[in-house]
Structure 1
Amino acid sequence: MNGPRREALPEGIAGLADFEAHARARLSEPAWAYFSGGAADELSLRANRTAWDALRLHPRVLRELAGGHTRTHLLDRELPHPILLAPIAYQQLAHADGEIASAYAAAAQDAGLILSAQSSTPLETVAQAMAGGAGPLWFQLYIQPDRGFTRELVQRVEAAGYQALVLTVDAPVQGARDRERRAGFKLPAPISAVNLAGAIPPARAALGSGQSALFDGLLSTAASWRDVEWLHGITRLPLLLKGVQHADDARQAMDLGAAGLVVSNHGGRTLDTVAATAELLPYLAEALRARAGPRASLLVDGGIRRGTDVLKAIALGADAVLLGRPYVHALATAGALGVAHALRLLRDELEIAMALCGCKQLSEAGPHLLWQTRP
């Protein structure tokens, strides 16, 4: 396996937002629309960012901070820091090295990586690139209409050394992505979802009068809670559900044996006008706290751009965060080096935020750290 390309980092990259303009200049209009766009009017896309901005930190001073660290625990494993790369499909659209570059960067910065089921690189190759890193390697999964293919894919994931499955549950259909349609986005050859090659597409049933191509056609094979129970029964890997937004669904997921949840609205890409993830996070954290039994892992994505956002997420009850679009911008800008630099910037900012808030370790962060949560 060849390593990633060696590239130079542009001057003037001081924060994650600085990658965006460089990425915009390098990507085609359709690719930019695919990675950066959201559903419909993109209200939830924008809300994800503004919700983190609306939270205000309430620091303590003159605390004893020597020996502080960013270590955390996730699925009974100690991690150097709570930052993982979110599952993002077709990364070769952003850079020729695609997911390989992201994996090398994650390994270099001890960050976790969740590989998309729609990766443009074989899952086994990505696992090899992640070898030696201290961060976890998980696989994001959509249950395919062909359940036999899904079982075989899970077996491949286990054999390749992935440590958890992340089942996306909030996208039984694609959202109305107006920006993509305006840009005429189509996946260019030879980029494809290589790990899904060979999956049998759902049969197109003949529709009767008054029937819906969506409800009576495509959704006739959509995943349900029965499939969550089935999936839990065919794998030895911990199972997390990504995209749960309602407390009742969170409780049902736990009842079916899920090891954790990813609080997510799919980056605002599926259903528009849903709540921002920073708003959903404390609500779902409370639902899990009120439930008897082992403590579930809780992660969050959507709008994370600064180390202060990571600290706020931990204060609201998250164990870790997923970084999304910014690392694709970094990937498009400078490949593996860009992604590694983005991760380093975010971790450095987290340490700065912790120090300035008087937090020696992440376990000291709680609602008291946020000004707006105070009476």
Structure 2
Amino acid sequence: MREPLPPLSQIPADIVAVNDYLPYAQARMSEQAWAYFTGGAADERLLAQNEQAPHFYQIWPRVLRDFSGAHTQLTLFGQDYAFPIFLAPVAYQRLAHPAGEQATALAAAAMQTPFVVSMQSSVDLTTLAAQAAGPRWLQWYWQTDKAASQRLLDLAVQVGIEAIVLTVDAPVSGIRNREQRAQFRLPAGVDAVLLRDVNRPAEPVAQAGQSPLFGSGFLSKAPTWPQIQQFIHDCPLPVIIKGILHPEDAEKAIAYGAAGIVVSNHGARVLDVAPTPFQVLSVIAKTVNKRIPILLDGGIRRGSDVFIALALGASAVLIGRPYIYGLAAAGPAGVAHVLHMLRTEFEVTMALAGCARLDQIQPDCLWSSSR
């Protein structure tokens, strides 16, 4: 088994796009960590489709436009942001770099972009809050231990967390063949530190001949819309629901009080035959009709992908694997570099499409053969 290389001390000149980080990241992760971060559900066809989805759109260039006062600023949930590229929640980041989420938080603060801390963070929330100046969000998975959940929520408010990103699309884990083949196990010293005092009942085990999932009673603990409504009502912070792929679920999220939604298929890690976020974004945006902000998560690899997402109706995007590659390769400098590359590509795309501000990025910025 190969020994991972140490993180880079400087960014190599041949890294000029997000995917250039891949070989550098792989060389600096264990084989198990690489399988965990790069794998998807089942045969991983959706994983490939997530990245390919933006390729089905063309941006319609415009020329000789006025760019005086051009900027990429936006306001979401009462906060101002410099550009619409945020860092998605990714678990166990110490698998990728010794400093883990602390290095990511440092980069996010330097680049003035929100970092959504995973509920399965491998660094504690107090440490991250002290490290990351500026807006901070916390991902949330439904927990049956109400007392421990309340303690964590109280801590989140205390350290300055400003929004909860409630992930609802994984009542069960997807079948992840790559992780299974690698026999993935968390190494000693890496765990979900925010969940250490959560009392999680043992998972029911199906008997021989019994339905493996439905017969075990496992899903009896999964939340439903009324429980989500109660959580939103009781939560002292705005709640953004992550994992929406259907317009009817987007409508329910609004009805039950969500401050925003994230259109996401969980990084293609749950159901391998779901649509991509790009495929459903426009129909969800039409249903939402700007009543609440929409973010897109999944498949962003170039700044032009960000532009397409906004043209289809998103207010901002989240990136996951791209910054993990930067983190593994070069720590906080790698994460910041990934954000810088994507922001630069995005601004170049805006300029070539004739858009000086985000509100000018509209559906008619995309070419359609039906015109």
Change in CA separation of 1:157 and 1:373 when aligned onto 2, cut-off 3 Å: farther
**How far apart, CA to CA, are the structure 2 residues paired with 1:206 and 1:35?**
27
Q: Does 1:147 align with 2:146?
A: yes
**How far apart, CA to CA, are the structure 1 residues paired with 2:311 and 2:262?**
16
**How far apart, CA to CA, are the structure 2 residues paired with 1:24 and 1:6?**
12
Alignment: residue pair count: 364
Aligned to 2:271: 271
1:51 to 53, 66, 71: 53
SS at match of 2:18: coil
Aligned to 1:35: 37
Per-residue deviation at 1:374? 5.0
Aligned to 1:74: 76
**How far apart, CA to CA, are the structure 2 residues paired with 1:324 and 1:374?**
34
Maintained 8 Å contact 1:6/1:337: no
Give deviations 1:78-103, integer Å, cap 9, x for gaps: 21110100000000000001001101
1:369 to 360, 365, 370: 365
Maintained 8 Å contact 1:140/1:165: yes
**How far apart, CA to CA, are the structure 2 residues paired with 1:195 and 1:367?**
41
Name the aligned partner's letter for residue 74 of structure 1.
L
2:114 to 112, 115, 126: 112
SS at match of 2:129: helix
Alignment of 1:146-225 (within 5 A): 146-204=145-203, 211-215=210-214, 216-225=216-225
Per-residue deviation at 1:295? 1.8
Maintained 8 Å contact 1:41/1:272: yes
Per-residue deviation at 1:373? 7.1
1:21 to 20, 23, 28: 23
**How far apart, CA to CA, are the structure 2 residues paired with 1:9 and 1:209?**
54
**How far apart, CA to CA, are the structure 2 residues paired with 1:204 and 1:305?**
37
TM-score normalised per structure 1: 0.93
Maintained 8 Å contact 1:368/1:374: no
Aligned to 1:334: 330
Per-residue deviation at 1:208? 7.7
Per-residue deviation at 1:24? 1.0
SS at match of 2:75: strand
Structure 2: gaps (5+ residues): 1-6
Per-residue deviation at 1:263? 0.3
SS at match of 1:17: helix
Change in CA separation of 1:207 and 1:23 when aligned onto 2, cut-off 3 Å: closer
Give deviations 1:310-333, integer Å, cap 9, x for gaps: 111111110000011010000000
Per-residue deviation at 1:211? 4.9
Aligned to 1:83: 85
**How far apart, CA to CA, are the structure 2 residues paired with 1:261 and 1:12?**
37
**How far apart, CA to CA, are the structure 2 residues paired with 1:208 and 1:120?**
34
Dislocated runs of 4+, deviation >4 Å: 203-211
Change in CA separation of 1:148 and 1:227 when aligned onto 2, cut-off 3 Å: farther
Change in CA separation of 1:21 and 1:372 when aligned onto 2, cut-off 3 Å: farther
SS at match of 1:51: helix
**How far apart, CA to CA, are the structure 2 residues paired with 1:146 and 1:208?**
26
Name the aligned partner's letter for residue 367 of structure 1.
P
TM-score normalised per structure 2: 0.94
